[in-house]
Amino acid sequence: MRARAAITGLSGLSLTGEEAALLRATPPAGVILFRRNVDNPAQLSNLTSSIREILGQEAPILVDQEGGRVARLRPPYWPSFPPPAVFEGGPEARAAANAALLGAHCAAMGLDVVCAPCLDLRVPGAHDVIGDRAFSADPAEIARLGEAWIEGLMAAGCTPVVKHIPGHGRATADSHVDLPRVEADAETLEADIAPFRAVCARDGGRHLWAMTAHVTYAAFDPDLPATLSPSLIGRVIRGAIGFDGVLVSDDLVMGALSGFGADLAAASLEAGCDLVLHCNGVLADTAALLRDCPALTPRAEERMRAARAAALAARPPARAAAAARPAPSAPHALTDA
């Protein structure tokens, strides 16, 4: 059975019988894990193994692990990584090493797609939902450190997910709660899209995934947020930015979007997303989404294979061996010291 074009959440620390049956009957393309799904290394390894026993060994398992405020793997079993803003002005090698260590801990747990780095601008006066998750207010600095972060994650065998394309930094509302609207003109928004364009320059971003922003940009589409806008995805994300990798929506159950999950999924996929993200882990909601969600398109499948192959090819033999070992009980991350 072909997988649905969706990445879905789970309810707890292990698969319930109902969840396992649902994944078998209407398989999503992959799964995303949150703090509610993480306790300790043995538990997490068992969970990721059980997911892949059902969905297949190549099924992506995603995690938001940026460092700072956004981290699902936390002490005492995993390091406390600093927020991305700490690396501003510092050497690329330090950012890459931090991302490689972060990625190695994820990979050791079977988490192979890491939702990072944020390539959003840190804009004074904007909502702090981004804040220190952004490397800088300077697009060139974001691109420099973002590329280093990508290289570090890929060295660990992880696929990076750059976010939130085409840029969440100017939003004055938190898209987890409300739909932000950005009134800046297209010339001003060139700064927002510049970091995304830079990391796509090598191969059209085919080594990456990218996550859409639930933000309406008056200059690009005054009526629809990026996630639901065919014109914005076509002209800006696939066009001006030049992104040809896997495009996944941000979480469809966030407050920025209204409507039923299945309807939003259909609209996102019709707009040009390859995958939709549905994270709440509520069995009835997930079942309704998967029942009506279209299958992955051949183009989406090819993009997913290309990104996975790039991450595996970038992983040195020594890193592959390190990633296979369990995480220590009290490791140390890079800090801003």
Q: What is the per-residue pLDDT across 118-134, written as a single tens digit (0 to 9) for each? A: 999 999 999 999 999 99
Q: One of 176, 185, 203, 336 is an active-site residue; which one?
A: 176
Residue 168 has pLDDT above 90, yes or no: yes
Backbone CA torsion sign across 222, 134, 30, 173: negative
Residue-wise pLDDT for 47-81, tens only, equals 999 999 999 999 999 999 999 999 999 999 999 99
Q: Mean of the pLDDT values across residues 208-237?
A: 97
Burial of 335 (0-12, 13-18, 19+ CB in 10 A): exposed
State the average pLDDT for the chain: 93
Q: One of 250, 251, 274, 285 is an active-site residue; which one?
A: 250
Q: Confirm if 180 and 129 have CB atoms less than 8 A apart.
A: no
State the pLDDT confidence band at 325, using cuts at 50, 70 and 90: very low
pTM of the complete model:
0.93
- pLDDT-above-70 percentage for the chain: 94
State the pLDDT confidence band at 318, using cuts at 50, 70 and 90: low
- Mind spelling out the 3-state secondary structure of 60-111? CEEECEEECCEECCCCCCCCCCCCHHHHCCCCHHHHHHHHHHHHHHHHHCCC
Q: Is 176 a catalytic residue?
A: yes
| Structural domains present in the chain | 4-314 (3.20.20.300)
